[in-house]
Amino acid sequence: MGFQVAIDGPAGAGKSSVARGVAQVLQISYVDTGAMYRSVTYLALLQGVQASNTCQLEKLLHQIVTKIDFQVVQGEQHLFLGDMDLSDSIRSQEVTRNVSTIAANSLVRKYLVQKQRDLALSWPGVVMDGRDIGTHVLLHANVKFFLTASLEQRAKRRYDELVKKGFHPSLTELMGDIERRDQMDIERDLSPLRPAQDAIILDTSCLTQHEVIEMVVALCRLRMTQGEA
């Protein structure tokens, strides 16, 4: 098994940016598992597939799961389905509003968790971010983090991120959406959002992205040297 870093936490805690930065410094791969749940949501909405229709949902998952791929485009990680770049489409508010329902579905989780484990095994090192990476997907990860931040901070970060991408969100609506999504992620039966027992918990409310990346990298390096000893 290569060196594995698990980063979990609620929406907008800065996981993706931190995970991307850490992977870059450590020169290992990065997987945004939230993007995978978003891509299934996007395609289910596009094809009118309901989460309750097990037959249609399994057909959809079967068709797409082997085609989901990550590629770096101009320094940014993009999610592809075959040769289709879905990176922008999966960030729409419609996908965001529906993704927690899709992510609570056992069939969806079965297919995506298997894909995530396969990806992790295919690389010499990986940083994976999500909600259940330390508690379920990579149970034996070398180091696990749980990033949190106040609801206000998290909504503001999501807001800035979306504005940068050309969307025009409302901060109040975003705060409501994030709160609802957190609640669904925390309360669901399957792999609910919670820190792993062996996770390092970091409250990033008063830290810059750069500071969080530095802390995470330092702790990973420490774990790497402990592993060699």
CB of 90 to ligand DC, least distance (A): 8
Can you tell me which of 22, 42, 44, 131 binds ligand DC, judged by CB under 6 A?
131
CB of 228 to ligand DC, least distance (A): 29
CB of 218 to ligand DC, least distance (A): 24
Nearer to ligand DC by Cβ, of 184 and 215: the residue is 184
Amino acid at 127: V
Q: Is 77 in the site for ligand DC (CB under 6 A)?
A: no
Torsion over CA: 61, 136, 77, 2 (sign): negative
Residues 82-121 that bind ligand DC (CB under 6 A): 99-100, 103
Nearer to ligand DC by Cβ, of 170 and 183: the residue is 183
Nearer to ligand DC by Cβ, of 11 and 43: the residue is 11
Residues 34-53 that bind ligand DC (CB under 6 A): 34, 37-38
How many residues bind ligand DC (CB under 6 A)? The answer is 14
Region near ligand DC per CB under 6 A, out of 32-40, 141-149, 166-174, 198-206:
32-40
Nearer to ligand DC by Cβ, of 71 and 226: the residue is 71
Q: Is 181 in the site for ligand DC (CB under 6 A)?
A: yes
Can you tell me which of 5, 6, 7, 11 binds ligand DC, judged by CB under 6 A?
11
Q: Is 130 in the site for ligand DC (CB under 6 A)?
A: yes
Nearest by Cα to 213 from 6, 22, 12:
22
Q: Is 132 in the site for ligand DC (CB under 6 A)?
A: yes
CB of 88 to ligand DC, least distance (A): 13
Instruction: Annotate the chain with three-state secondary structure.
Output: CCEEEEEECCCCCCHHHHHHHHHHHHCCEEEEHHHHHHHHHHHHHHHCCCCCCHHHHHHHHHHHHHHEEEEEECCEEEEEECCEECCCHHHCHHHHHHHHHHHCCHHHHHHHHHHHHHHHHCCCEEEEEECCHHHHHCCCCCEEEEEECCHHHHHHHHHHHHHHCCCCCCHHHHHHHHHHHHHHHHHCCCCCCCCCCCCEEEECCCCCHHHHHHHHHHHHHHHHHHHHC
Report yes or no: 6 and 133 within 8 Å, Cβ to Cβ. yes
Interacting residues with ligand DC (CB under 6 A): 11, 33-34, 37-38, 99-100, 103, 130-133, 181, 185
